[in-house]
């Protein structure tokens, strides 16, 4: 899997999906349009323009709580965010992110230590985060079965088109 190299944008606890993308933009389905409103209640308009390709968002506890809107991970991904590291994630946000091919990492110590603007190298396959700014390293447990398949296929839709639910069921039950 990919190596992610980018700059950190740090947020606090309980960042809910209304803060990631307010409900009034839910009529939009185009990722680029949604990206223009990423974190608008916290960072103002067009925050996405200063987010670099492959940047990393750090959150605290319960990142992505609230509404089931997939618009939230879509806006993050379309803004260039390559990965979110947090202490904990809300469940629907977690599955939505993997379903669109955006990896999330649960690493409480890293989420606490790492500061805004620092540069990270993340190796998803090896489960390593290296803070290039402070040289500190963190490891995280390998992703579970279905999550790896979703990332390898860059999302649920390609996974279903490539492999289908039925083959996955056979594999899960035999394994």
Q: Which residues bind other proteins (CB under 8 A)?
A: 14, 16, 18-19, 22-24, 26-29, 41, 61-62, 65-71, 73-74, 88-92, 95-96, 99-100, 144-146, 155-157, 160-161, 165-166, 168-169, 172-173
Structure tokens at 170: 């056979």
- Determine phi and psi for 19, rounding to 5 degrees: -80, -30
Q: How far is Cα 166 from Cα 107, in angstroms, rounded to an integer?
A: 33
Q: 125 or 145, CB closer to other proteins?
A: 145
- Among residues 33, 75, 27, the alpha carbon closest in space to that of 51 is found at 75
Shortest spacing between CB 159 and other proteins, in angstroms: 9
Q: Which is nearer to other proteins, 137 or 163 (CB)?
A: 163
Taking the complex as a whole, the smallest distance from the CB of residue 39 to other proteins amounts, in Å, to: 11
**Nearest distance in Å: CB 81, other proteins:** 17
Question: Is the CB of 15 or the CB of 124 nearer to other proteins?
Answer: 15
For residues 30 and 49, which CB has a smaller minimum distance to other proteins in the complex? Answer: 30
To 10 degrees, the CA torsion angle through 1, 49, 75, 98?
10
In Å, how far are 30, 148, 149 from 143, measured between CA atoms?
Answer: 29, 6, 10
């Amino acid at each position: 899997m990919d190596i992610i190299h980018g700059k950190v944008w740090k947020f606090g606890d309980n960042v809910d999906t209304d803060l990631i993308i307010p409900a009034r933009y839910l009529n939009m389905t185009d990722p680029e349009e949604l990206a223009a409103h990423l974190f608008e209640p916290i960072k103002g308009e067009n925050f996405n323009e200063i987010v670099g390709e492959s940047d990393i968002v750090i959150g605290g506890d319960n990142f992505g709580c609230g509404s089931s809107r997939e618009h939230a991970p879509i806006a993050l991904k379309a803004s260039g965010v390559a990965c979110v590291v947090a202490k904990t994630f809300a469940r629907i946000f977690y599955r939505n992110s993997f379903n669109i091919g955006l990896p999330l990492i649960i690493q409480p110590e890293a989420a606490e230590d790492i500061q805004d603007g620092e540069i990270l190298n993340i190796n998803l396959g090896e489960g390593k985060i290296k803070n290039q700014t402070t040289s500190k390293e963190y490891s995280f447990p390998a992703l579970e079965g279905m999550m790896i398949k979703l990332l390898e296929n860059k999302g649920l839709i390609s996974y279903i088109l490539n492999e289908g639910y039925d083959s996955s069921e056979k594999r899960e039950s035999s394994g």
